[in-house]
Structure 1
Amino acid sequence: MNKVAVVFWSGSGNTEAMANAIKKGVEKANAVCDLFFVSDFDINSVEKYDGIILGCPAMGNEVLEECEFQPAYDEMEKFLNGKSVGLFGSYGWGSGEWMESWEAQVKDAGAKLFEKGLIINEAPDEDGLNSSEEFGMRFAQSK
């Protein structure tokens, strides 16, 4: 991939740390990577990117953040058909049910889901940041 957008929401900074490591990995794979907090991303620009990596932590009852991220994702879905999409996020409880539901939504939108979503419990440690960076590299190198 030549150009990738990483679009995320983070409340505590855990998902943001993952987003920064993913961006680093994408760039290590020699792709251009733009990083956006979800409220700063122009949803109409999805088509400008070869791939989109979306990040959001689990909230409340294992759902995406509902005030900013979920509405933006709902609007973005119409642009995802045929697009390569990666997913990531942090969580503090449960076992990742929110990610499984999100993966299904992305597939239902007609996107090409990259691997399984990357999830990290609480704040990413060094291994978690390395996993995030590797995820970004693999995504950028995928076709």
Structure 2
Amino acid sequence: MKKITMIYWSSGGNVEVLANAIAEGIKETGAELTIKHVSEAMVEDITSADAVAFGSPSMDNNRIEQHQMEPFINQFELLPNNNKETLLFGSYGWDEGSFMKDWEDKMKGYGFNVISTFAVNESPSSKELSQAKELGKELAMF
């Protein structure tokens, strides 16, 4: 059984809604899922998983959340990540989602195999929630 860890940061709730949809897809495959807010996450949650999903909204200067999520992510710069399958997801408002490309580049530089990214403008629509669920399935089956 594939072991997947999902770590996210959400303030307004949009990223949490996406996380729940992705989790639903993962669970439908029978994979084992650990889901945590980044404030409760530890490096071992990631290193012990077969695949990971990270979620964050775009914040100041088109970056992932800078007080908790970015410092957590930066811990992996010097750790072996063994090309671990990774899904990145989030939400944005005014910046057209450009933060996601920078985040993807960073994660690839840290040795993660980013198999998919998904960003929604503000609140996810029902169609976007269906897409998120499918991405969860894809991550679990990859």
- TM-score bracket for the superposition, by shorter chain length: over 0.9
Aligned length: 141
Contact 1:81–1:109 (Cα < 8 Å) also in 2: no
Contact 2:8–2:16 (Cα < 8 Å) also in 1: yes
Give 5+ residue unaligned stretches, structure 2.
none
Give 5+ residue unaligned stretches, structure 1.
none
Greater fraction of residues in strand: 2
- 1:62-82 Cα offsets, whole Å, 9 max, x none, are 111111111111113425342
Contact 2:80–2:111 (Cα < 8 Å) also in 1: no
- What SS does the aligned partner of 1:45 have? helix
- Percent identity over the alignment is 32
Match of 1:108 in 2: 109
For normalisation by structure 1, the TM-score amounts to 0.93
Match of 1:94 in 2: 95
- 1:34-53 Cα offsets, whole Å, 9 max, x none, are 11000111112322110010
1:134 is the counterpart of 2:137 = no
For normalisation by structure 2, the TM-score amounts to 0.94
Contact 2:97–2:120 (Cα < 8 Å) also in 1: no
Hey, what's the Cα distance between the residues in 2 that align with 1:2 and 1:8? 20
Match of 1:44 in 2: 44
- What SS does the aligned partner of 1:93 have? coil
Q: Which amino acid aligns with 1:27?
A: K
Matches within 5 A, 1:1-143: 2-77=2-77, 78-115=79-116, 117-142=117-142
How far is the alpha carbon of 1:130 from its aligned partner?
A: 0.9
Contact 1:23–1:136 (Cα < 8 Å) also in 2: yes
**Superposition CA RMSD, Å:** 1.3
